[in-house]
């Protein structure tokens, strides 16, 4: 008999025709993968907005306020042979973690990004302080899993390597010849993701176009530039791969990242990647990633260097050893099982 795994998330989930949808692909794929080993019960926040990815699990509940959410946390602790996984630290999941501890349970907290950087990007210094307070308290009584060692900030925890890649991503990619620069960004349109900073950087540059794949339906964020094309979040793998193949260079403008899976997707499709100095820690031993400064002169120099050496860069990228989703789920299951 499978052990129960209750997963608590701050992510918003929309219900359409008795099916559940989210925008963050990790909230879909990780619980689905873990469900092969555990009996997964997923909990999230209710959303009226339509979302992109259907979560294919039998047991999902969503809540419109923190009180109903906490009430369900209380009911969940009555189950025996159960583990409790909290995804990321936010005000919601902070309260959930404390509630679990008060009810005699030791939560496992999965840190999939650098909360210090994210909160600072959104709220400035006060944001960093708020996250520090939440992290410091929850790390006293929780087991930790992270996608990067530095995110643990010296605390004891296990490190795993997220990935959405399967054999389809490694099929032969389309060859390109750069004329004007066709850039691609895949991800959510958020301040902390640096997309508005990038838009400003390439404003009025006729030989540079940018496609953004990641807009939510009915989003309040607007970018009105003639050289920027915004597409909705893509949940069809073949179409998403086509976006990578139809562009020359992938760009990840984030101010903070833990283990960006879109970077792995770009490398799998052999598209050179440009990042900025704030997240150069994501490079590791991977080939084909270039670091730019947030000024146009340096950025344009990087673009031209990639254009000049495109074939050689792609050849070097073939040496990359990229993690797969299968390997990631196996690591995740082991990390959860290791915590008694």
pLDDT at 121: 84
pLDDT at 218: 61
pTM given for the model: 0.86
pLDDT at 190: 86
Helix, strand, coil shares, percent, the chain, to 5? 40, 25, 40
DSSP type of residue 218: T
Q: Kindly state whether residues 229 and 261 are assigned to the same domain.
A: yes
Q: Which residues of the chain have pLDDT under 70?
A: 217-221
Largest CA distance in the chain: 63
Q: Kindly state whether residues 136 and 171 are assigned to the same domain.
A: no
Q: Kindly state whether residues 188 and 103 are assigned to the same domain.
A: no
pLDDT at 220: 62
Q: Kindly state whether residues 41 and 154 are assigned to the same domain.
A: yes
How many other C-beta atoms lie within 10 A of the C-beta of residue 158? 19
Q: Kindly state whether residues 11 and 129 are assigned to the same domain.
A: yes
Q: Kindly state whether residues 291 and 331 are assigned to the same domain.
A: no
Q: Kindly state whether residues 221 and 75 are assigned to the same domain.
A: no
How many domains are contained in the chain?
Answer: 2
Q: Kindly state whether residues 333 and 271 are assigned to the same domain.
A: no
CATH of residue 156's domain is 3.40.50.2000
pLDDT at 222: 74
DSSP per-residue string spanning 45-88: EEESS--SEE---S-EEEESSHHHHHHHHHHHTT-SSEEEEEES
C-alpha distances (whole Å) from 134 to each of 87, 120, 140, 264, 311 are 14, 14, 10, 30, 47
DSSP per-residue string spanning 127-171: HHHHHHHHHHHHTTTSEEEESSGGGGTT---EE-------GGGGS
Q: Kindly state whether residues 159 and 172 are assigned to the same domain.
A: no
Q: Kindly state whether residues 91 and 187 are assigned to the same domain.
A: no
Q: Kindly state whether residues 226 and 303 are assigned to the same domain.
A: yes
**Residue range of the domain that includes 66:** 4-163+326-338
First to last CA, the chain: 17
Q: Kindly state whether residues 15 and 135 are assigned to the same domain.
A: yes
């Amino acid at each position: 008999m499978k052990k129960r795994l209750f997963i608590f998330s701050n992510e918003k989930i929309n219900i359409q025709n008795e099916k559940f949808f989210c925008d963050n692909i990790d909230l879909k794929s990780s619980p689905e993968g873990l469900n092969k080993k555990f009996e997964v019960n997923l909990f999230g926040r209710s959303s009226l907005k339509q979302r992109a990815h259907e979560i294919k699990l039998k047991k999902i509940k969503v809540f419109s306020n923190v009180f109903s959410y906490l009430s369900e946390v209380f009911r969940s602790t009555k189950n025996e042979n159960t583990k409790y996984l909290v995804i990321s630290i936010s005000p919601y999941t902070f309260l959930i973690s404390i509630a679990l501890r008060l009810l005699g349970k030791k939560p496992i907290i999965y840190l999939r990004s650098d909360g210090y950087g994210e909160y600072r990007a959104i709220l400035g210094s006060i944001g960093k302080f708020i996250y520090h307070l939440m992290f410091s308290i929850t790390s006293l009584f929780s087991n930790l899993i992270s996608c990067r060692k530095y995110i643990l900030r010296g605390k004891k925890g296990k490190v795993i390597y997220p990935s959405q890649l399967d054999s389809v991503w490694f099929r032969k990619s389309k060859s390109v010849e750069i004329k004007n620069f066709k850039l691609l960004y895949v991800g959510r349109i958020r301040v902390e993701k640096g997309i508005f900073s990038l838009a400003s950087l390439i404003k009025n540059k006729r030989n540079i176009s940018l496609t953004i794949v990641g807009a939510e339906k009915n989003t309040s964020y607007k970018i009105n530039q003639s050289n920027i094309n915004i597409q909705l979040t893509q949940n069809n793998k073949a179409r998403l791969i086509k976006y990578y193949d139809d562009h020359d260079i992938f760009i990840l403008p984030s101010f903070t990242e833990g283990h960006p899976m879109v970077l792995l997707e770009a490398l799998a499709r052999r598209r050179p990647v440009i990042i900025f100095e704030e997240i150069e820690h994501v490079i590791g031993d991977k080939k084909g990633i270039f670091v730019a400064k947030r000024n146009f002169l340096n950025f344009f120099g990087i673009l031209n260097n990639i254009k000049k050496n495109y074939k050689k860069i792609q050849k070097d990228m073939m040496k990359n050893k990229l993690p797969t989703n299968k390997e990631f789920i196996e690591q995740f299951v082991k990390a959860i099982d290791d915590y008694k």
